[in-house]
Amino acid sequence: MRQIYGQTESVTGVLGGAPWESDDRATIGRPFLGVDEVRLVRRDGSDAPDGEPGELWVRGTPGVTLMLGYHEAPEATAETLVDGRWLRTGDVMVRHATGRFEFRGRGMHIIRRGGENLSTYSLEIDLQACPLVQDVAVTARADETLDALVVAHMIPAADYEQESFRDWCREHLGRRGVPDEIREHTSFPRTGSGRVIVRDL
8-50, pLDDT tens digit by residue? 999 989 999 888 887 777 899 999 999 999 999 998 899 999 9
Judge whether 71 and 85 are in contact, CB under 8 Å: no
pLDDT at residue 68 in the model? 94
Out of 52, 81, 105, pick the residue that ends a domain. Answer: 105
- On whether both 13 and 100 belong to a single domain, the answer is yes
Out of 77, 105, 133, pick the residue that ends a domain. Answer: 105
pLDDT at residue 51 in the model? 92
- On whether both 93 and 133 belong to a single domain, the answer is no
- On whether both 12 and 65 belong to a single domain, the answer is yes
How many structural domains is the chain composed of?
A: 2
Q: What is the residue range of 185's domain?
A: 114-200
pLDDT at residue 160 in the model? 93
- On whether both 139 and 191 belong to a single domain, the answer is yes
Out of 105, 122, 138, pick the residue that ends a domain. Answer: 105
- On whether both 33 and 70 belong to a single domain, the answer is yes
Q: Is residue 72 over pLDDT 90? A: no
- On whether both 99 and 180 belong to a single domain, the answer is no
- Region class of 168: left (phi > 0), else alpha (psi between -120 and 50), else beta: alpha
Q: Is residue 101 over pLDDT 70? A: yes
Residue 21 bridge partners (DSSP)? none
Residues contacting 74, CB < 8 A, separation 6+: none
pLDDT at residue 108 in the model? 62
- On whether both 141 and 64 belong to a single domain, the answer is no
Instruction: Tell me the per-residue pLDDT of 136-181, one tens digit each, with 9 for 90 and over.
Output: 999 888 888 888 899 999 999 988 999 999 999 999 988 888 999 9
Q: Which of 78, 103, 86, 77 is nearest to 24 (CA)?
A: 103
